Structure 1
Amino acid sequence: MRGFTQGFYGYAVALFVCLLGAGVFLLVTPHGESEHIPRREYSITVANFGHAVPYAVWAPRQDPQGWVPNSNRIAKGANGAQVLYLGYATAKREHAMFVQSDERPAAEFANRMANTDKAIGTQQIGGVTWERRFREDKKQRTLVRVLPEVTLVVTGTADWPELAELAGLLQQRPKG
């Protein structure tokens, strides 16, 4: 027995037993094949934003089918303006974000959110006109709508139909 635990053969047998044990452990351990995208509820953030700004805020009336809301926050923009960010993983697992603020000048806010000041056209969504922007190097598409009180931006790596779906679900909530 003493000869079995010493020398090269003893080392090789011990290593084989350890590797066999690790292999059995890996075989019996369940492996999750499904993706996990953390869901972040945004209703309280939208309500808090509504209390912090002097205008009626915009928010999706519902989440698009198959989308996961995964981020939300309120931040300070230029000149002390409040900015609301609502982020999503789309059904195609791209990124889309809705941003709104009364930051002035509105064009500078839109340029910063879109990462470009170049418009490439317009798009009708729900009977209203949105400006389209595209930044090639980031594959970032953006829809911009400037209203008298607030600027709405829908942006991300999602394709145009997905961004339009989110923009079409936006509705103004009564000031409360």
Structure 2
Amino acid sequence: MRRFTEGFYGYVVAVFVVLACVGVFLIFFAPQSRDERIPRRDYTITVANFNRAVPYQIWAPTSDPAGWIPNSNKIANGEGGAKVLHLGYATKAREHAVFIQSNEQPPAEFANRMANSNQVVGTQQVGGVTWEQRYREDKKQRTLVRALPDVTLVVTGTADWAELGQLAALLQPRPKPTA
């Protein structure tokens, strides 16, 4: 027994015992959070900045759908110098949904790129308005597209059609800011 308590082997055994004790403590006694933590990102400033940056009337949600968490927002540069607004959400079912808008031309190419598909699979009525449905199976991505004369609206993500429709139903035009 003496050879395991002296020299190099003693050191190895002592380190192993200490690491085993730490491991047992971490597994059974260390506090662990099982709570979901999705960061909430306020998009009001981003929407206001986008509204000032573009020459057309923008659209934005009047409120967040119940139980949804806004978790990302950005203004990006699109093709041909167009600006693109992205507002991302974790839905109540904890799927992903994004509202995107731009005046990028041509609107069909913008919609194709945002939907990752050019295949229209149907239509969906949202608040009395018809939206185009697109679906990309390998990504489980559903997309609603509405092309208006001066802007294209896209609601896309892994959320189901009903959840995407919920977000689309809350979209309303925003007045341009006064100088």
Q: State if a TM-score over 0.5 links the two structures.
A: yes
Aligned counterparts of 1:64 and 1:141: Cα–Cα separation in 2:
18
Measured after TM superposition, the shift of residue 22 of structure 1 is 3.8
Match of 1:172 in 2: 173
| Deviations, residues 138-158 of structure 1 (Å, cap 9, x unaligned) | 111110001111110001111
Residue type at the aligned position of 1:36 = R
> What are the equivalent positions in structure 2 for 1:51-130 lying under 5 Å apart?
51-130=52-131
1:6 correspondence with 2:6: yes
Superposition RMSD in Å: 2.0
- TM-score under structure 1 length normalisation: 0.90
Aligned counterparts of 2:81 and 2:15: Cα–Cα separation in 1:
67
Residue type at the aligned position of 1:6 = E
Measured after TM superposition, the shift of residue 56 of structure 1 is 1.7
Aligned counterparts of 1:43 and 1:83: Cα–Cα separation in 2:
15
Aligned counterparts of 1:150 and 1:74: Cα–Cα separation in 2:
15
- TM-score under structure 2 length normalisation: 0.89
Residue type at the aligned position of 2:141 = Q
Unaligned runs of 5+ in 2: none
Alpha-carbon contact 1:114-1:155 (below 8 Å) kept: yes
| Equivalences, count | 175
Measured after TM superposition, the shift of residue 28 of structure 1 is 3.0
| Deviations, residues 121-152 of structure 1 (Å, cap 9, x unaligned) | 11110111111111112111110001111110
Identity of aligned residues (%): 62
Alpha-carbon contact 1:5-1:11 (below 8 Å) kept: no
Structure 1 stretch displaced more, 156-165 or 111-120:
111-120
Alpha-carbon contact 1:145-1:152 (below 8 Å) kept: yes
Unaligned runs of 5+ in 1: none
